[in-house]
Chain A
Amino acid sequence: DQQVKQNSPSLSVQEGRISILNCDYTNSMFDYFLWYKKYPAEGPTFLISISSIKDKNEDGRFTVFLNKSAKHLSLHIVPSQPGDSAVYFCAASARGQNFVFGPGTRLSVLP
């Protein structure tokens, strides 16, 4: 049973345009969400987080939106840069429990 889903295994975006990465979850107890970026042969790198008391969190080019009623969150990257090409993982947890990761979405930003 996949509690955290990223239904797009890959996404291609033109440099300068917006990248939108989506994540859906099934466990209504999840109240804290993270996005990680992973380059080949490296560990996941934390990007941005959001807790369930907020519906938006912004950090530079990265914005995460949370829709609790739909159990959906998304990561927006604008403007997209070639260096953003990586695999993006969504992860969710309920307080005091460990994170459950989605399967990842591979983003390719084309120059």
Chain B
Amino acid sequence: EPEVTQTPSHQVTQMGQEVILRCVPISNHLYFYWYRQILGQKVEFLVSFYNNEISEKSEIFDDQFSVERPDGSNFTLKIRSTKLEDSAMYFCASTPAGADTQYFGPGTRLTVL
């Protein structure tokens, strides 16, 4: 069964550095999402992406964040200058056309030191 994949599984970075988190959504899906979960807290929506543009974003998704679908298969989340409070699990999800169910990837644990 097709799956959403994410790399790396764990990323450690220094505060102020840029990180790129990568996701490969399920191939025929059209809608893509990023969520994060800070340890011990709820899953929070960051951004949704459709037709090569952001369709919705939350207050968390400020100018430090950007998303891109560079090659038709990958879907990336970039954090330009990481802060300590960006440490979290970041989940990518995708949805096929005409459905609401989101298929989640395994997540990338980001640790900012």
Interface majority SS on B: helix, strand, loop or mixed?
strand
Q: How many A-B residue pairs have CB under 8 A?
A: 49
Chain B residues within 8 Å of A25, by CB: none
Q: CB within 8 Å of A: which residues of B? A: 4, 6, 33, 35, 41-45, 48, 56, 91, 93, 100-107, 109
Binding stretch for chain B, among A12-20, A71-79, A91-99:
A91-99
What is the interface size of chain A, counting residues whose CB is below 8 A from a CB of the partner?
20
1/0 per residue A16-46: CB within 8 Å of B?
0000000000000000101010000111111
Pairwise interchain contact B100-A103, C-beta atoms closer than 8 A? no
| Closest CB in chain A relative to B85 CB, distance in Å | 18
User: B100 to A44, Cβ gap below 8 A?
Assistant: no
